[in-house]
Structure 1
Amino acid sequence: MKKIRIKKFEPVRDRYMFTDNRHPEKGVMSAILGIISVSALIAAVVFTYNDGGQAQLRYAAAALVAAIFSVVGLVLGIMSRLEKDIFKLFPNLGIVLNTLSIAFVIFILVLGLS
C-alpha cells in the first residue's frame, strides 16, 4: 500500500521579489512633463488646423512652453536614468516622450521655414 504524504504549507520566497529599487522623483517628473508637452503640441496643431492653418499667437506660445518643458523633462529623465537602484520605467518613458516632443517642434519649425 502506498503512503499518502501531506505537504506542509511552507512560505515560498522565490515567488516574491524583494528589492530596494524605487521610482525616482525626477523620472516621474520627466514623464509628466513629456505627457504635458506632447499633449500641448498635439492640441496646438489640431487647433491650428481647425482655424484653417492660421496659427494664433496663443498656439505658438503653447508650443514654446511645450518645447521648454521638453528640454527640462529630457534633462530630468537623463539625470534620473543615471541613478542606481531605480525602476527604469518613468525615466525611459520621460526620455522617449520628451525626445518625441523636441523632434516634433523641430519638424514644425522646418515646415514653417519652407
Structure 2
Amino acid sequence: MRKKNYIFTNKKHSDKAIMSTILGVISLVSLGIVTYLSYSQGGVMHGGYGVTGVLATVYSLIGLILGVLTLRDKDIYRFFPVLGTILNVISLGGISFLLYLGSRL
C-alpha cells in the first residue's frame, strides 16, 4: 500500500489578487473592443470610445496597484497576483501605444 502524503498549508487565494486579475481582463477586453470598433469605422471615434479608454486606464492602474500590493503579502498563492500584474501592465502598455499612435497622426 502506498502511503498518502498530506501537505497542510495556510496559503489562500487573495481577494485583492483576484480583483486585480478581473480588472486586467476587463481593461484588455474593453480596449480590444474599442480598437476594433474604431478600426472598422475607418478610424472615426465617438466620445464613448474615449470614455471607455479612460475607464480602462483607471481600471488598469487600480488593478496594477492591487496586484503589486498583493505580491508583497506572505502565505498566499502567487498565481493571481502575478497574472493580474502582467495583465494590467499589458493593458497600460496598450493604452500607451494607442496614445503614441494617436499623437503621430
Q: TM-score, normalised by structure 2?
A: 0.94
Specify the alignment match of 1:3 in structure 2: none
TM alignment of 1:52-63, pairs within 5 A: 52-63=42-53
Larger Rg: 1
Specify the alignment match of 1:107 in structure 2: 97
Q: 1:107 to 1:10 in 2, by over 3 A?
A: closer
* 1:30 and 2:26 correspond: no
Q: 1:52 to 1:10 in 2, by over 3 A?
A: closer
TM alignment of 1:17-96, pairs within 5 A: 17-96=7-86
Gaps of 5+ in 2: none
Runs of 4+ in 1 over 6 A off after TM superposition: none
How far the C-alpha of 1:17 sits from its partner, in A, is 3.0
**Aligned alpha-carbon RMSD (Å):** 1.1
What is the one-letter code of the residue matched to 2:10?
D
Distance 1:90 1:17 in 2: 21
Distance 2:81 2:2 in 1: 38
Would you tell me which structure has more helix in proportion to its own residues? 2
How far the C-alpha of 1:50 sits from its partner, in A, is 1.1
Identity, % of aligned pairs? 36
Gaps of 5+ in 1: 1-8
How far the C-alpha of 1:11 sits from its partner, in A, is 4.0
Distance 2:39 2:18 in 1: 32
Distance 2:51 2:63 in 1: 18
Distance 1:41 1:99 in 2: 13
